[in-house]
Amino acid sequence: ANSWEEVKDLVSIACEKWKWHYLTKWHYLLLILGIFLSIIQYLRKREITNIQIQLLIQFGIALFGVLLYSFLMLKQFKAHDYYFIDTFLTPIILLLVFVFSFVKFKNITLNIIAFILLSISVYEMNRHSLDAQVQRHETGAWDTTLFAIQNYKDGDQVLNALNISKDAKLLVLDSEVPNIPFILLGRSGYTVHSLNKANIENKLNWDYDYIVMQNTNVTTVFFDIYPELRSQLVRIGGNNNFSVFKKELNTKQNLSSLLGLNNRSTVYKNTIKIDKKWSNNNFTTDSIIEFNKNEEFALTLELEDKSTFVNKNRIAKVKVNINHKTEKSNLMLVFALMEENETVFYQTKLLNSGENTFIFTPQPLASSKNKVSLYLYNPNKENFKVKDFEIEVF
């Protein structure tokens, strides 16, 4: 941490985020009760055994060690709950053993009561801890880690087909999870965690052979974050989920060439100017649709023929031309897939005023009975106009 104020902020965030995940209220109660009873017992007898002294020394050593480690790694505690297991769990266990070593009852009734209370506490500890584990392992369409796994699945076969050596080094531009792409692609290399121009520009000078990126992030990286990169790379292959690029200067690339779509046929196409059956529309002219502030879910297209998405990976290219006057708009484009009323794919893109082009890489549907939706989400209930809205599926 850079300052004492930051220390307090980081500790506060970590405590608020994780305090009920690896310790429950029963753990805290048991620890407080143990400290209270041990103090009473010690004050009564004023005795401490050699084993208890050794336990206290071990607790002190462990606590000092984890405090040093925490001092160095404090910024990680707010993001990762497993740092608690690596550090404070051991001294807490040693402290529990130490304080309860003072608690001894000669009365058999008190021992039975203590055993029953302890059994209840242990049961509740386990129950709450298991609930916390279930919560920590919940996943869904919002899970970027799961999405990366789906996109890079069988990626090693794609690279093999491109005759990319097993020794080739990859630069993965858009990975929030550093190891997963390399495990699934069967190669080693580097990742860019924070997607900003300076970070990407720095890593472009590293020692790598190929650049890899999920298709759904191509528009964000090549058109919003680092437009100049379009003239430095050429796509050599990939699939509907990810693309492989080589560094090649002075190339002129549009979105279709960056994704290898130029020579591919469209399997589905729809536009609001042709098909006026999209729900929640309010045409003011043949080419402009106006929405007022009362409409939260505006302009929805639900695909009737969903067979094109069944058991097939697809690329959906969506163009939206809108006009809104809000300086900080939260108007979003949403692409979603539903299977038996459960969302299996859900991606949002923030819409700027003017022309917008986005790429979505939805996972295959299991059945044509499932729901495919493309819609505008207007959480701030802004006034805006849609001049054009088009979807192409490859």
Q: Is the pLDDT of residue 209 over 70?
A: yes
3 state SS of 29: helix
What pLDDT shows up at residue 21?
Answer: 80
Mean of pLDDT values over 50-75: 93
Average pLDDT of the chain is 83
Q: Is the pLDDT of residue 276 over 60?
A: no
Mean of pLDDT values over 89-100: 91
Higher pLDDT, 273 or 36: 36
180-182-186-189 Cα dihedral, nearest 10 degrees: -170
CA 360/CA 141 separation, integer angstroms: 13
What pLDDT shows up at residue 275?
Answer: 55
Tokens of 255: 């979105």
Q: Is the pLDDT of residue 171 over 90?
A: yes
Q: Is the pLDDT of residue 248 over 90?
A: no
CA 285/CA 149 separation, integer angstroms: 44
Q: Is the pLDDT of residue 186 over 90?
A: yes
What pLDDT shows up at residue 268?
Answer: 80
What pLDDT shows up at residue 289?
Answer: 65
Mean of pLDDT values over 141-168: 88
CA 232/CA 178 separation, integer angstroms: 24
What pLDDT shows up at residue 370?
Answer: 67
DSSP 177-230: SSSHHHHHHT-EEEE--S--HHHHHHHTTSS-SEEEEEGGGHHIIIIII-GGGG
Closest listed residue to residue 121, CA positions, set 24, 247, 201: 24
Higher pLDDT, 239 or 144: 239
> From its phi and psi, is residue 46 left (phi > 0), alpha (psi between -120 and 50) or beta?
left
| Residue range 27-52, pLDDT digits in tens | 888 889 889 888 888 888 888 899 99
Q: Is the pLDDT of residue 351 over 90?
A: no
Mean of pLDDT values over 217-237: 87
Torsion sign, CA atoms 248, 254, 260, 262: negative
Percent of the chain past pLDDT 70, that is, above it, reads 89
Which 8-state DSSP code applies to residue 3?
S
Which 8-state DSSP code applies to residue 346?
E
Band of the pLDDT at 188, cuts 50, 70, 90? very high
Model-level pTM greater than 0.95?
no
What pLDDT shows up at residue 278?
Answer: 55
| Residue range 282-317, pLDDT digits in tens | 544 555 666 666 667 766 776 665 677 777 778 888
Torsion sign, CA atoms 36, 38, 41, 46: negative
What pLDDT shows up at residue 246?
Answer: 92
Tokens of 176: 């929030």
Residue 6 CA to its chain's centroid (Å):
25
What pLDDT shows up at residue 196?
Answer: 87
CA 32/CA 232 separation, integer angstroms: 62
φ, ψ for residue 201, nearest 5 deg? -60, -40
Percent of the chain past pLDDT 90, that is, above it, reads 25
Q: Is the pLDDT of residue 62 over 80?
A: yes
| Residue range 4-25, pLDDT digits in tens | 999 999 999 998 888 888 788 8
What pLDDT shows up at residue 111?
Answer: 85
Higher pLDDT, 371 or 316: 316
Q: Is the pLDDT of residue 118 over 80?
A: yes
